[in-house]
A = this chain, B = another copy of it.
Amino acid sequence: MENQQDKKSQIIRSGLELINEHGFHGCPISQVAKKAGVAAGTIYTYFESKEEMIQGIFQDVIQKQHREVTSKDDPNLPFKERFFSFWDNLLEFYSENPDIQGFLEQFLKSPYNSEELQAKHPEWFQWTQNFYLDGIKEGAIKDLNPIILKILVNESAQSLAKVKKNFAQKLERNQVDLSSYPYLIWDAIKAN
């Protein structure tokens, strides 16, 4: 039923909001339920436990990110253009979905995250891997293990998104212009 999907989505949305705002501490099942407009017990028809709910949220969020970012990539463009487009798309995605950004920020650094869990989402991992392999084949970027490139670029994007969201005042006060950031990253990975 679409009604059922709606409920599950509502629960995920509530969890995202609460975790972004108050961290894992501040998202008791009771509140998730309240915000989602369902009873506490209902959550257990969609998830076996709170832990599974949080992992379900991660799954949902990674899929969304994958869909959003890959759909906007054009493999026929020169890699440099693809890179800057990738960067912009990722940051736009985070800026339009601050709850997702906040959730990922905390989840990825938490003990919830693990090698095994990441291995459950091969699409995103594979796609980024191939993305950088394309760049290497084209001779546009350094011939390094794509895992290193992935770490550098994706973690930097996360860092920048975090800073933009959480330290807005400080940036304003110090008149920091972050637009140069992707160029720095490009300088790091481009072939020399």
Contact = CB atoms under 8 A, between A and B. Distances in A.
Given A105-B109, A144-B180, A184-B189, 12 more contacts: A22-B111, A23-B111, A24-B24, A25-B111, A109-B162, A115-B167, A115-B170, A142-B184, A147-B170, A148-B178, A185-B188, A187-B192
A28 to B, nearest CB: 12
Contact of A184 (B112, B176, B188): B188
A140 interface: no
Interface of A: 21-26, 105-106, 109-113, 115, 142, 144-145, 147-148, 151-152, 155-156, 159-160, 162-163, 166-167, 169-171, 174-178, 180-181, 184-185, 187-189, 192
Contacts of A155: 155-156, 159
Contacts of A113: 166
Nearest to A22: B111
Contacts of A170: 115, 147
Contact of A24 (B21, B25, B189): B25
Nearest to A155: B159
Contacts of A174: 145, 147
